Amino acid sequence: MNAVMNAAMKTTTLGPSGIECSAIGLGTWAMGGWMWGGQDSAGATEAIHASLDAGVTLIDTAPAYGLGASECIVGAALQGRRHEAVIATKCGLVWHTQKGTHFFDEDGHPVYRHLGRESIFHEAEESLKRLQTDYIDLYITHWQDSTTPVEETMDALLTLKRQGKIRAIGVSNVDPETLAEYLRYGPVDAAQERYSLIDREIEQTLLPLCQRHNVAVLGYSSLALGLLAGPIDPAREFTGDDQRASNPRFSAANRARLKAFFDELEPVRQPLGCSFGQLMIAWTLARGSVSVALCGARVRPQAIENAAAGALDLPEEAVQRIDEAAARHLQALA
C-alpha cells in the first residue's frame, strides 16, 4: 500500500477561473456530523492537516453540513494555512428564512432551497465568518431553487465575484438545461455532481455540456458513501443517524456482491500497491469524466489514504478490468 504514497499529486484547473487545485479534494460533509453519526472536531482537524500535508489543496464544505459546523471546523483548521487551500463552499440551503421550497429538517431546523439575491449575500457573509477568511475560492449553488430565476442567482454570484468575496462560480445537483441557463449569464467554473463507479449518469447527461464550455467537474461521493472503499464486514452495523443504516445499497446481499467484485479485482490491486479505496478513486480520475474526485474523511489515516490515490496512474488494462468486473457484480447497486 506504500507504493503510491511518495508520488506527486495530480493537479487540475477549475474551468475559466484558472484556479489550480489538487485532483483529489477533501469532502467535509461527515465532519459536520449530521447524517454521519456525530462529529469529532479534533479528528476532523487532523484529517484536514493531513490532507494538506499530502498535497490535497481543495477543501469542500457547505453551510448545511451540520448547520455551519463543518465550515467552522474547516475555518479553524486552516488558520495559518489558508494560503495552502482552495476552499469550496456553497449557498442555497438556508435556515435563516422560509423563502423558496422546504427541503428537509436538520436538528429541528427546517431547511429550504433558496437562491434569491439577498439570501446569497447573507449566506456569503456568514460563510466568510465561519471560515475565518475574507474570500471564498469556489462558491457553489448547492441545490437548485425553482422559485428564483437563474438570472437573479447568477447576478448575485457575479456581484460577489466583482467584490472579491468569491473567485469562481460553481453549481451542484443541476440538470443540463439549468446549467445552460447559468451559462447564458456568465462563466461557470465548476459543476459538482455525484460520480463513482456505480453512479455514472452524468457521462450521458451533463458531461458533454461541461466539456463544451470548459466547466470543470467535481465528482462527489467518489466511494459511494464508503461502499466502494473495500469489502464491508457483514457484521458491521451503522447506528444513530448514520444514513447508511437505511440505505438499501448497504444490504447484506449487496455486501456479498461487493465481496465478489473486490475478490475479482485483487490481481489488479496487488501489483499497484494500493488499497481498494485508492483503486476506486483513481478509476474516477482515469475515466476522464471528472477533474476532481471529492473524498470524505474524518480521521487522519483515512485522509492520507484518499490523498495517495491522486498520485496513482491506472493502466488502461486496469480500467477495463474494473469496468468489466463492475458490469458482472455491481449492476444491482446502481
Q: Do residues 44 and 31 touch, judged by C-beta distance below 8 A?
A: yes
Distance CA 154, CA 287 (A): 31
3-state secondary structure 241-306: CCHHHHCHHHCHHHHHHHHHHHHHHHHHHHHHCCCHHHHHHHHHHHCCCCCEEEEECCCHHHHHHH
Look at residue 5 and give its three-state secondary structure: coil
Angle 80-84-87 (CA atoms, 0-180°, nearest 5)? 100
- Cell numbers given for 139: 462558491
Q: Do residues 101 and 111 touch, judged by C-beta distance below 8 A?
A: no
Look at residue 203 and give its three-state secondary structure: helix
Q: Do residues 90 and 172 touch, judged by C-beta distance below 8 A?
A: yes
Residue with cell 436538520: 106
Question: For this structure, is 182 an active site residue?
Answer: no
The enclosing H or E element of 219 equals strand 216-220
Write the DSSP assignment of 81-101 as a string of letters. Answer: TGGG-EEEEEESEESS---SE
- Cell numbers given for 226: 464508503
Phi, psi dihedral angles at 155 (to 5 degrees): -60, -40
Catalytic amino acids?
65
